[in-house]
Amino acid sequence: MLDPQARALIDLMIERRVPPVHTLTPAEARRLYRERRTFTQPEPPPLPVVRELTMPGPGGPLPLRLFRPPADKAVAGALPPLLVYFHGGGWTIGDIDTHDVLCRQLAVEAGCAVLSVDYRLAPEHPFPAAVDDCIAATRWARSQAAALGIDAQRIAVGGDSAGGNLAAVVALAERDAGAAIAAQLLIYPATDMRAVAPSHQANAQGYLLTADSIAYYRGNYTPEAAMWNDWRASPLLAKDRARLPPALVLTAGFDPLRDEGRQYADALSAAGNRVQYVCFERQVHGFITMGRIIDEAFSAVDLAGAVLRRSLRGG
């Protein structure tokens, strides 16, 4: 059964004739996403430090936002661990403002610093621009650990949807580069650009993220089908998934991406990695940022924070 709160949101969007994302230009889609977030997101929790930063990225200056947890919530250690976070939005929409509340919540619940990355968006900057930016941001954070006041030995990566895809890819890339990542948080991640998992058909219409919107986002980010088989676009297709950081994979039952998230969790487990997988069976894609109207969003944030906190303890 679909969560009645999620059903109420879907019905309201139909009643108000909110245009489907695939009917909009990227600029229009970004504007509407920014505007609508205030109707579904909870109030931002206060934090002692929120800093606007910029780093030299592969395509030019890359904006970042650093969040520090309250002292009474921080994980033990001389310096706090760091979660490098990549926002969702189909590699086309979203930014550090649309995910500001979620990053604040994770800083509080996980007791770690959070660095939100404003990576380049498609179609202006197609694959692999976002990948390059996210890898660069993670490496920059490690190199600037002293200036940022974080523990370089306890850096995790995370993201939702497209951001979950990017977090999985960064974990793979950092392993190959010999750099340790402490944990990965993958929230309803896109892991296979071919979109062949059964849930793509079962949940193709009627649950916010549709087959049409997936095709729109995929066309913006990976305009050539040959790109879909690149592990940097489809981490499920990576040949080697061993020696990866502990992972928490969260999915939603009424989400086209549900099964490929489960497939990635299973693949990580089969390769000998520590993995926790939880499906919020009654939820839709995107629910974790909708705490103003969907109660289970807080449950998901609490779970993500608790698992991250355990993974980042020590050192």
Q: Show which residues are catalytic.
A: 161, 255, 285
Before 246, cis peptide (omega within 30)?
A: no
The encoded tokens of residue 161 equal 């949807």
Closest by alpha carbon to 140, among 128, 127, 129, 152? 152
Hey, which bits of the chain come out as E strands?
A: 49-57, 60-68, 82-86, 113-117, 155-160, 184-187, 247-254, 275-284
Query: What phi, psi does 238 have (nearest 5°)?
Result: -60, 135
287 vs 57: CA distance, rounded Å: 30
Q: How far is CA 70 from CA 105, 106, 110, 289, in A?
A: 11, 12, 11, 21
